[in-house]
Chains A and B, each alone.
Chain A
Amino acid sequence: MTPEPLIALEGITKTFGSGAAAFQALKGVDLTIARGEFMAIMGPSGSGKSTTMNILGCLDVPTGGVFRFRGVEVQKLDRDQRSLLRRRYLGFVFQGFNLLARTTALENVELPLLYRGESKAVRREAALRALDQVGLVPWAEHTPAELSGGQQQRVAIARALVTDPDVLLADEPTGNLDSERSVEIMELLRRLNAAGITILMVTHEEEMAAFARTIVRFRDGLVESIERGALAGEEHPA
């Protein structure tokens, strides 16, 4: 008996707008993602990869189909229930880092715990642990403006990690970084994946996708191909 996959997409469609202006971004996507996966989602712009990512991140709901996350049918949940799902199980890393300006790295990392109602002491301890995972404890009291792009992205990863999520969703996490910083970030993601976190990453760079276990390619709102067990990154010693 195969265990229930962590994530299952069945016949997912997504239509934006209505009538003549309607645009079908997803035309029936089927995808299952097992716990511990490190998946890169690729595809040209307009292929539906970002829309899929938004649905996987419970930020958006599909127009049709079934999206099961931990056995729960997410498309049936309301806005606040999806917020609670994100708060509890998901961590986000964005291309633009999206840290709060004029707020220290430590406070940025503490932010998700604030919404969990954790005490100040718990928040601080967990945030420092997360910053330690990304090697930024000495920078805890610095604001984003005082950090390099690579450091900002590592703070963002620490923020995603601090709640100990099941899934880390990374949307072009290296899009704003030079190749050296990008490799650093990817190696960090690999380490986190090895520690048990499921990672879903959108990227358009083959070199970055090579770090993932599985590469899913989108085209015209459908899954074009799935390359499992790529593990190209194994060649790079971590």
Chain B
Amino acid sequence: MLGTSILLALREIRRHILRSILTTLGIIIGVAAVVTMVTLGNGVTASVQEQISSLGASNFIVFPVRTTRGTIRPFEEGDVRAVRQQIAGIKVAAGSVSASVTAFTNGQDWDTTVEGGTNDLLEAQSVKIAEGRPFSADELESGKSVCLLGVKVREAIFPPDANPVGSQMRLDDVACQVIGVLEPRGQGGGGADDDDVVYMPLKTVQRRFKGSDNLEYFVVKYDPDYAATAIQQSLVDLLRERRLLQAGEPNDFNIIDTAQINQALGAATGALTAMVAVIASISLLVGGIGIMNIMLVSVTERTREIGIRLAIGALAREVRLQFLTEAVVLCALGGLVGLALAFAASFGIAAAIDVPFVFDPVINLVSFLFAAGMGIVFGYYPARRASQLDPIDALRHE
């Protein structure tokens, strides 16, 4: 009986195809909006998390800031060494500097960024080497001109079939030897591309590109078994002491806890997604009322048909099931169309705004079931009305 009801419902929907489409438009738009918003929200969250995890999980990033005195006092290698040696629970502390450069080879050129660091920095930033090898102790110690290429740079200036490891290239006017290629890390936020980078030993970048021993920032990777707040407090105490800050003077540096950012951004995007989803749900509700409206019209319009069905022996519950099925099938079809639209829209928009497309089966399923549920809720009253018609009156209905 249910299978037959669904077939009957589909036939009825096909018969009034334009009306069915217009009726379900609210459901279609509602489902599409909810699913698109949640999918994009997930994409943004994923993108933020990816970016942050590219900074390394359980990391602090420490950088100097301008104080009331108006100057920025950079950190030096000594600060990083002190942090590494004097604070318990620190696994890695590594400084970094960077510079904008143009990479040349084989007559190709590419504007990119050179990042100076040690193997520790690579570890703290979760950078992995796909081909080749990390820096050697000697290269780091004496500031050799060797480099590790991000995939973007490798693709830009080396032919796809060539193995760049071992070949020579130039960064501005500094010649260097390629010793490895990094694994792809994906898109960072704000247009930054984590793969569009060249790593060189810290000392090399300091000497050849910066002309100073200063660090722009340093990364601290800590053991997650230790309390982040305790380590952060030790960091602040140690750095204030090293920078000779008097009590009452503000910190002239900033510490960012990547785990915290992760959480905060996750919570923020989550809240935003939830809010937009709630707004979109209202359109679903409006869509449901539209369904009820048209089902009531349909019951009135088909009063005679209902009379015929009752006269030839349909039970009240069979008539109710028929109209309820019609409403549910209508809503479910609307839901499916909405999901398809949402898939296309979120795929397109995700590509356009540069966030990953994260298909979320749960929200798709929930939205679909919700849409079908609307059919039950808003189809029940019209269906009940149809089933309670008096067959004699219904047959006389003009």
Q: Which residues of A contact B (CB under 8 A)?
A: 54, 57, 59-60, 79-80, 83-88, 90-92, 94, 98-102, 111-112, 114-115, 117, 159
Contacts and interface: CB of A to CB of B under 8 A. Distances in A.
B390 to A, nearest CB: 8
Contact of B310 (A83, A94, A159): A83
Interface residues of B, number: 20
Contacts of B286: none
B308 A100 contact: yes
Nearest to B314: A115
User: Which 10 A-B pairs have CB atoms at the shortest separation, nearest pair first?
Assistant: A87-B313, A86-B313, A112-B312, A83-B315, A98-B308, A80-B315, A59-B391, A92-B311, A115-B314, A83-B313
B392 interface: yes
B314 A59 contact: no
B395 A98 contact: yes
Nearest to B307: A98
Interface in B343-398: 391-392, 395
Given A54-B392, A114-B4, A100 B313 contact: no
Contacts of B1: 117
B305 interface: yes
9 contacts: A54-B392, A59-B311, A59-B391, A80-B316, A83-B313, A92-B311, A98-B395, A101-B305, A114-B4
B15 A86 contact: no
A114 B1 CA distance: 8
A220 to B, nearest CB: 21
Interface string B290-332: 0000000000000011011111111111100000000000000
Contacts, number: 54
Contacts of B314: 83, 87, 115
Interface string B47-83: 0000000000000000000000000000000000000
Nearest to B12: A102
Contacts of B313: 83-88, 90, 112, 115
Contact of B316 (A79, A88, A99): A79
Contacts of B309: 111, 115
Nearest to A120: B4
A92 B312 CA distance: 7
B312 A111 contact: yes
B311 A115 contact: no
Nearest to B14: A102
Contacts of A80: 315-317
Contacts of B318: 115
A112 B312 CA distance: 6
B305 A100 contact: yes
Given A85-B313, A115-B318, 17 more contacts: A54-B392, A59-B392, A60-B392, A80-B315, A80-B317, A83-B313, A83-B316, A86-B312, A87-B313, A90-B313, A92-B312, A100-B308, A101-B305, A102-B15, A115-B309, A115-B313, A115-B315
A113 to B, nearest CB: 10
B7 to A, nearest CB: 10
Name the residue among A86, A102, A115 with the largest chain B CB count within 10 angstroms. A115
A115 B314 CA distance: 6
